[in-house]
Amino acid sequence: MATERRHILAGLAAGGVIMAGLGVSRIGIGAAPASAKGKRFPISRSDAEWKKRLTPMQYYVLRQEGTERAFTSRLNKEKRSGTFLCAGCNHPVFRSADKYDSGTGWPSFTRAVSANIGTSTDYKIGVPRTEVHCSRCGGHLGHVFNDGPRPTGKRWCINGAALRFRPA
């Protein structure tokens, strides 16, 4: 019985180490996005300040690198001419001229306003992905993939909760 218990505890410990290596254990409420660790951004606020300024979903996505459920953002169907801003700091990050329907359920773009975006490698699901964040506040926006349409071949898959739309 003691040997069986020891094996169970050893298995749980090994699983915890594996999950930590994959980034699964990064549940810390209020933790800065991994992409922002060690980086300084022009706009910096405490967790309490971010929570006051953002809705719970915006906070989850922008500050905790969360992902909203597919097909839930009203911005997914936004067709007007204008600019998509970071919901954390109103920095212009995408233009409506570059938006397209990727069929994924998230607002998708062929390119970003490149000077206003930062990227980092994200291993959160065990495989490398390119994480996208705002260059002004460090807020997590989504990911960029190499399966988009011409002319760029990129699919900037962005959480609608991370954006605000400003009509032209």
For the chain, give every domain's residue range. 1-30, 31-167
Q: Among residues 86, 89, 134, 157, which one is catalytic?
A: 157
pLDDT digits (tens, 9 = 90+) for 117-134: 999 998 989 999 999 999
Q: Can you give the pLDDT at residue 36?
A: 53
Q: Does the reported pTM lie above 0.85?
A: no
pLDDT confidence band for 65 (50 / 70 / 90): very high
Q: Does residue 11 register a pLDDT over 50?
A: no
What DSSP letter does each residue of 9-43 carry, written as one string? HHHHHHHHHHHHHHTTT---TTPPPGGGTT---SS
Q: Which two tokens stand for residue 79?
A: 């067709």
Query: Superfamily assignment of 31-167 in CATH?
Result: Peptide methionine sulfoxide reductase. (2.170.150.20)
Place of tokens 């964040």: 133
Q: Known catalytic residue: 157?
A: yes
Across the range 5-33, mean pLDDT stands at 41
| Cβ atoms of residues 95 and 83 within 8 Å | yes
pLDDT confidence band for 161 (50 / 70 / 90): very high
